[in-house]
Amino acid sequence: MVFTLTQHTAKGSGRSIPGFNLFEAVQASRSLLINYGGHHKAVGVTLSLQNMEAFRKSLLGFAKDRIMPETLKEKVRIEALLPLAEVTPELVREMEMLVPYGQDNPAPILASLNLEVQKYSRVVGNRHLKLWLRQGNVFRQAIGFGLGDLQIALPAGLRVDVAYTSKLAVNEGIPQIELAIKSLRESD
């Protein structure tokens, strides 16, 4: 939660994570509050400055009892599991008709299994991993934003399962499919 402090009160607002009802956490501390409102994903509160520490402890205690380790793992909603050969320029164009993407209209995430990492991986912009993936005779360039640290852990020949969004880029007049990695794991 983020608070703005005045001489005697604190006004705060907060957003929750999936799987945790922040409004219930605030309701459990209502005796410490002057006013509150919201819903399971977001809240607003007003409280006396003298109740700040007790409110913090109450929220942390509530969360500790209810947030399980699996709740903190990022979950990726996959729309379709496809071989790379089926992720065609035509399919990508059809998915691009769903724009604009946003919180209530996320970009479709596809997944492909047992892709082979090629030797051409590199870090770009100090933080991002750019690599080539292969499945059969289909090669795709992929970028993992913020995944530059994984380059060492992804040697050529490693088999991986990848969840990604896709877009078309035109290179020398030829449409090419680029993948933006959302999640990656070693194949079983």
Q: What is the mean pLDDT of residues 44-51?
A: 96
Write out the residue limits of the CATH 3.10.310.30 domain(s) in the chain: 2-72
Fold of 80-186: OB fold (Dihydrolipoamide Acetyltransferase, E2P) (2.40.50)
Q: Which pLDDT does position 120 carry in this prediction?
A: 67
Across 117-146, b (16+ Cβ under 10 Å) vs e yields bbeebebeeeeebbbbbebeebbbbbbbee
**Tens digits of residue pLDDT in 7-42:** 999 999 999 988 889 999 999 999 999 999 999 999
Write out the residue limits of the CATH 2.40.50.460 domain(s) in the chain: 80-186
Is pTM, for the whole model, over 0.85? no
Q: pLDDT class for 152, splitting at 50, 70, 90?
A: low
Mean pLDDT for the chain overall: 90
Q: Which pLDDT does position 126 carry in this prediction?
A: 77
Q: Which pLDDT does position 146 carry in this prediction?
A: 85
Q: pLDDT class for 123, splitting at 50, 70, 90?
A: confident
Name which CATH class applies to 2-72. alpha beta
pLDDT at 151 over 70: no
**Tens digits of residue pLDDT in 52-80:** 999 999 999 999 988 888 777 777 889 99
